[in-house]
Structure 1
Amino acid sequence: MTDLGLRGSPNFEMLRLAHPDLIVSSGWFTWVQDNLERIAPVVSYSVYEPGRSPYLAAEETTLALGEYLGRKPQAETYVSASSHEIAQASRRIVDKTRPVFLINLGDARHFRVFGPDSMFGDVLQRLGLSNAWQKPTSYAAAAPLPLEALVEMPEALIAIISPVPPDAHVTLGKSPLWKAFPAIREGRVVTLPPVNPFGALPAARRFARILSEALSNREITNG
């Protein structure tokens, strides 16, 4: 894997040395489109746009890219397999009555929360679960928010998406505020491995799989 720099400052020299046959871009990189086209052909797709389901956009992008590459049957198979895997994940979850906070901890006092317009929120709905965060989000997530915001829906389950900063993990374990939240007291918290919040269908499938497994294990433990 080649390090091509940060999203806001791509390393064109390293990209050129990689000799790509095709560059798959997005609307975020229109400002460097001319530079990219000097290196290789460019196709651009958008998955994250206001008012648009990111999951459906990811399906459309997969099919469009498959057609462009002459791999339309494979793209259709992957789209179908993704839908099937999420449906299977949904069936693993027995209790769907509680709303879910989908959060990523920034430090011991703040977090970002993923709304219904995020890929995580979109998949959550496809799993038959409701998102505890219904306020507006920006680029599919809202941040930074104080931990106190979690008390707005005390009956919710909290799903923490890694990574968790080491200092936050240690501090929260000793925090009276954290321990006072109903979800913490009652064991309604699961911690998930890292998932790309701005990924496409592979990220959606991974999120559905690990969340359903975590909730299923919790149901078995508490049952």
Structure 2
Amino acid sequence: MLDGRSITPRNTISWFALVIATILTSFPVWSQQIREAGTVATLDFAIAETLFAVQDLPVAMGGVSNYQSWTEDNSLPPNLVDIGSNPQPNKELLSTLNLDTILIPLQYAYLKDDLSDIAPVAQLSPYNTSPLSGWEKMLSFTEEIGTHTERKREVNQLIADADDRMNRLRDTATTLPQPLLLVQFLDTRHVRIYGRNSLPGIVLDQLGLRNAWEGPSSRWGISTIGIGELFNMEAHFVIVDTSHLPSRRTTQEKVMTSELWGQLPSVRAGNITLLDADFWVFGAIPSAIRFADSLVKALEDS
């Protein structure tokens, strides 16, 4: 008996046919979702955060915990697959995924041949030797991602929104102190300086703010100098605050409470602002916008 009715061979066959029909009807939708979700893997945070902005998720990403620790971003897709460290991804895991492409940065060229056995590989980075300006390189990089992932419409919208946000922040930035020196503590004797072609430097250009650093810098736009060299810098110091990272907290506290630091002219004059590092310092448009928003607000409040 079932709901007061007796089960007959005819009823059983009808019920079974209904179940099979339901499964067959829903299967194309379910299988299409799997195919759409499992399309891209990346070994680069700049690529990953751009993918988050233009599609539901990149199916696989290296260094997930490191990215979360640095940016304090807890909004990553819950079904994101962690493929291990970026320099040494888990190739066995990658080979089990239904990948259309693997996007890697320029510095991981040594992985290209091995990864090409799993899926087509493309190399790209907003930090390259192109003669374009830093912002133009970032836009071109974003457009490349749109091409590789067939998300050109979403990428164009991301770029339009970013340009609009930068334009509005530029109007506010006219009253902010400058020139600015962007500083991050490396150890008790050295600091990293972010030059014009770094992400922070690119944002300063977009906001119409002057970067006090005019010295040489790497492809990433960074330079390492001794803390004593800051005596010669007449600028408002913006400290990339990494105290939320246990490995960096002690160093930052030691430097900022040291006698040497306290004697720096900019520090003595109070020309210093702490900026929460809630962005990836080698990131792309999403981090650039977070940095721009945080910078303008922090300088307005200081």
Match for 1:197: what amino acid? V
Q: Extract structure 1 runs of 4+ deviating beyond 4 A.
A: none
Aligned residue in 1 for 2:104: 25
Pick aligned residue for 1:151 from 215, 224, 231? 231
Q: CA deviation at 1:16?
A: 3.0
**8-17 or 30-39, larger mean C-alpha shift:** 8-17
- Secondary structure of the corresponding residue to residue 283 of structure 2: coil
2:188–2:254: 8 Å Cα contact kept in structure 1? Answer: yes
What do you get for the CA RMSD once the two structures are aligned?
A: 2.0
Structure-2 change in CA distance of 1:60 and 1:182 (3 Å): same
**53-62 or 5-14, larger mean C-alpha shift:** 5-14
Aligned residue in 2 for 1:199: 283
Alignment of 1:211 onto 2:295: yes
The structure that has the greater radius of gyration is: 2
Pick aligned residue for 1:163 from 242, 245, 248? 242
Q: How many residues align?
A: 216
Match for 1:199: what amino acid? G
The superposition leaves residues 57-82 of structure 1 with CA deviations (integer Å, 9 ceiling, x where unpaired) of: 22112223223433222211110111
Structure-2 change in CA distance of 1:102 and 1:78 (3 Å): same
1:107–1:167: 8 Å Cα contact kept in structure 2? Answer: no
- Secondary structure of the corresponding residue to residue 300 of structure 2: helix
Alignment of 1:183 onto 2:263: no
**71-80 or 41-50, larger mean C-alpha shift:** 41-50
2:180–2:212: 8 Å Cα contact kept in structure 1? Answer: yes
Alignment of 1:142 onto 2:226: no
2:174–2:208: 8 Å Cα contact kept in structure 1? Answer: no
The superposition leaves residues 168-188 of structure 1 with CA deviations (integer Å, 9 ceiling, x where unpaired) of: 233234312111112212222
**In structure 1, what is the Cα distance between the partners aligned to 2:147 and 2:88?**
30
Structure-2 change in CA distance of 1:44 and 1:174 (3 Å): closer
1:101–1:157: 8 Å Cα contact kept in structure 2? Answer: yes
Aligned residue in 1 for 2:255: 172
Q: CA deviation at 1:142?
A: 0.9
Tell me the TM-score normalised to structure 1 length. Answer: 0.87
Match for 1:202: what amino acid? P
Structure 1 residues not aligned, in runs of 5+: 219-223
In the TM superposition, 1:1-223 aligns within 5 A as 1-50=80-129, 51-96=131-176, 98-139=178-219, 140-143=221-224, 145-154=225-234, 156-164=235-243, 165-194=248-277, 195-218=279-302
**In structure 2, what is the Cα distance between the partners aligned to 1:207 and 1:44?**
25
2:181–2:193: 8 Å Cα contact kept in structure 1? Answer: yes
Structure-2 change in CA distance of 1:5 and 1:68 (3 Å): closer
The superposition leaves residues 84-116 of structure 1 with CA deviations (integer Å, 9 ceiling, x where unpaired) of: 111222222243452111111112221111111
2:176–2:300: 8 Å Cα contact kept in structure 1? Answer: no
Aligned residue in 1 for 2:4: none
Report % sequence identity: 29
**In structure 1, what is the Cα distance between the partners aligned to 2:241 and 2:91?**
30
Match for 2:287: what amino acid? A
**In structure 1, what is the Cα distance between the partners aligned to 2:112 and 2:86?**
14
Structure 2 residues not aligned, in runs of 5+: 1-79
Match for 1:137: what amino acid? S
